[in-house]
Structure 1
Amino acid sequence: MKHEEDGSRRELFVQALEGKRIPVLTLDNKWYQLLDEEARKDVAQLEGELNGLLKQQGKLNNEVKEIKRLKKRLMEEIVSLMGEEEQGEDSENAQKSEQNRRLVEECNEKLEACQDQLLDLPREIERANFQLMLATMDCCYDSMAENSAVIRETEEWVAEIRVELKKRLVRKQELERHNHAIYNYMHDVFGAEVVDIFDMHHDLDGQEM
């Protein structure tokens, strides 16, 4: 029964997320504030998977920048060497140009490989982020349910305390009135000596004299 409820709940979450633009959760400070230590353990694997994909994307982007920078330098050298006087196939400049052309081809191959991976990564990141969001919703649902139970319990406790407090205040007032009545009667009979006679170390409201 519990499994069916969880499955039904998960379907509702999936439907609710359809068409929604979900921020990358592990880059959102608000997301970290939602989860307590126990919840973070529950989503740790999905969190790690998402962070791994983001790290891979960042690494590939840096590689692309470095390769483009190298390719630009190589191309500039090729153009520069083309302007030199020595044009023989065995000349140092010709060999350098040929070497640079081979390196440019390698750069192109590496760029293509990196860009192919970069094309797939956004979908993988979106998928991992979606799964992490579902797990987060599960944790938040459970957390809210537990919190609501504690809130209701606390409200009931406070209500009971209020009733008990009112009863005690009424009883306190009755006892104070009774003390006053006793004191006034005895004072009328014995005068000021009533304090010594009754060994009254407290005043009529229960405070030390």
Structure 2
Amino acid sequence: MFDFMKKKRRIVLNEQPEEEVKVTNSNVNLKKEYVSDILKSRKLPIVLLDPLWHTMRDSIQSDIIKAQEKNLKELLKEQGRLNNDYKEYSTVKQNFLKEILNLSGEVQVDGNSESIEALNKLHQSTVNINQKLEDIEKRISEVEVEIESANREIIEEMIAVGYEYIDVCKEKEIRLEREITQLREQMLLKTAEKKKCEKLLKDVYNYLHSIVGREQIEVIDRGLGDKK
């Protein structure tokens, strides 16, 4: 059983660990309960078969997702092996049934003891095959349930972590918008102050020109003006 409060959940932006955003476990857990209730009657696609999953899993990271992804991979492999085994045993069973049919005809004709013995062995082998097929069918059903459970856990966790990140981003967006507004106001004040200085500078030059003349001001400028 997972101890959610100790699990690491985080968002990694642009595949850069230094741009990692940690989300709050308690908030994620509440969101996950809600998501689970919404999705409980919905059939969900297997995430590992979705190409987009491999993009998102690098951004939305969680110990729960990591563990269940590993579990899901193993279950899918087992499911594949079971399906192959079922096909192979079914083929063997069909071959046994054909042999039983042929030997039954021979036994009815001549009652050969060797044929009877072979027929009995085939019957027993068929019984064993049927038991094997029954066991495989049972395990296939169990694996399907386990796959559905692991896959659902991954999806619910990813949605919950994703929405917690959305909330974190919204809060950050509001904070940044306030800062942008403050900077914009400061920029307007600085711009107004700059224009005021420019006007004063122009007025001073015009006044000085009117008193001593342009040529004298240019000489004074060379001596007292901008020095870089």
Are residues 4 and 177 of structure 1, via their aligned partners in 2, closer, same or farther at CA, if it must alter by over 3 Å?
closer
Offset at 1:183? 2.1
1:152 matched to which residue of 2?
A: 174
Are residues 201 and 73 of structure 1, via their aligned partners in 2, closer, same or farther at CA, if it must alter by over 3 Å?
farther
Offset at 1:99? 7.6
1:132 aligned residue (140, 154, 163): 154
1:162 matched to which residue of 2?
A: 184
Higher strand fraction (1 or 2): 2
Q: CA RMSD in A?
A: 3.7
1:104-142: CA deviation from partner (whole Å, max 9, x where unpaired): 555444322212211222222222222223322331232
1:179 matched to which residue of 2?
A: 201
Equivalent position SS for 2:61: helix
Equivalent position SS for 1:39: strand
**TM-score normalised over the length of structure 2:** 0.66
Between 75-84 and 111-120, report the one with greater CA deviation. Answer: 75-84
Q: Give the conservation status (yes or no) of the 8 Å contact 2:72–2:150.
A: yes
Are residues 177 and 4 of structure 1, via their aligned partners in 2, closer, same or farther at CA, if it must alter by over 3 Å?
closer
Give the aligned residue type for 1:176. Answer: E
Matched, 1:23 2:45: yes
Unaligned ranges ≥5, structure 1: 203-207
**TM-score normalised over the length of structure 1:** 0.71
Give the aligned residue type for 2:161. Answer: C
Between 175-184 and 22-31, report the one with greater CA deviation. Answer: 22-31
Offset at 1:36? 4.8
CA distance in 2, matches of 1:77, 1:165: 93
1:143-194: CA deviation from partner (whole Å, max 9, x where unpaired): 1222222212221221111111111111121111122222222233231342
Between 193-202 and 151-160, report the one with greater CA deviation. Answer: 193-202
Q: Percent identity?
A: 23
Q: Give the conservation status (yes or no) of the 8 Å contact 2:60–2:161.
A: no
CA distance in 2, matches of 1:38, 1:11: 18
Q: Give the conservation status (yes or no) of the 8 Å contact 2:29–2:160.
A: no
The structure whose RCO (Cα within 8 Å, separation 6+) is larger is 2
Q: Give the conservation status (yes or no) of the 8 Å contact 2:60–2:158.
A: no
Give the aligned residue type for 2:218. Answer: V
CA distance in 1, matches of 2:84, 2:100: 24
Equivalent position SS for 2:41: coil
Unaligned ranges ≥5, structure 2: 1-23
Give the aligned residue type for 2:215. Answer: A
Aligned residue pair count:
198
Between 33-42 and 99-108, report the one with greater CA deviation. Answer: 99-108
